[in-house]
Amino acid sequence: MIDPKFLGKKYELADTYEVCRMKIKEYAMSLGDSNPLYTDKKAAAKSEFGRVIAPPTFGVVYGGEPAGRMLFDQELKLNLPMLVHGEQDMEFLEVVGAGDEITTTGEITEIYSKKNLDFISLTCVSKNQHGKEVCRSKYTFVIRGGGA
């Protein structure tokens, strides 16, 4: 079982993620989404946002790093070969666009066992340069062969 003493452990980034117009476009195109708000600088400039904006799921780009840090945290001793990505929930709160600077922090919010499985959840909060929350996400991982 994952030691419950790690409940509440935080993962903060040392730097901000600078949202780039071309990264937004590349991400949107990888999804097959050619929405001009995501891909066309001129069209997006004429929109209510005045710039290229990111698809909501772009939140995994700027918000996923704390999850990676948690997974590779040697102190947790997670059995990575037996770990699967169980679930992910995202709540989008503000539009994110080119030029924004995003900071994300994560906190372990759940550790429990059920049958022969261990569960660990990390809740992340991403904020823009104005301190407004833009996205909340929860990553839940399952480690097979654990359990009490």
Task: Per residue of the chain (148 residues), give pLDDT as tens.
Answer: 899 999 999 998 878 999 999 999 999 999 999 999 999 999 999 999 999 999 999 999 998 899 999 999 999 999 999 999 999 999 999 999 999 999 999 999 999 999 999 999 999 999 999 999 999 999 999 999 865 4
Asked whether residue 23 is assigned to any structural domain, the reply reads no
Asked whether residue 88 is assigned to any structural domain, the reply reads yes
Q: Which helix (H) or strand (E) holds 90?
A: strand 83-92
Asked whether residue 29 is assigned to any structural domain, the reply reads no
How many domains does the chain fold into?
1
What CATH number is associated with residue 112? 3.10.129.10
The three-state secondary structure class of 112 is strand
Tell me the two tokens of residue 33.
Answer: 């989404």
Asked whether residue 26 is assigned to any structural domain, the reply reads no
Q: Which domain covers residue 84, as residue numbers?
A: 4-18+63-144
Asked whether residue 10 is assigned to any structural domain, the reply reads yes
Asked whether residue 54 is assigned to any structural domain, the reply reads no
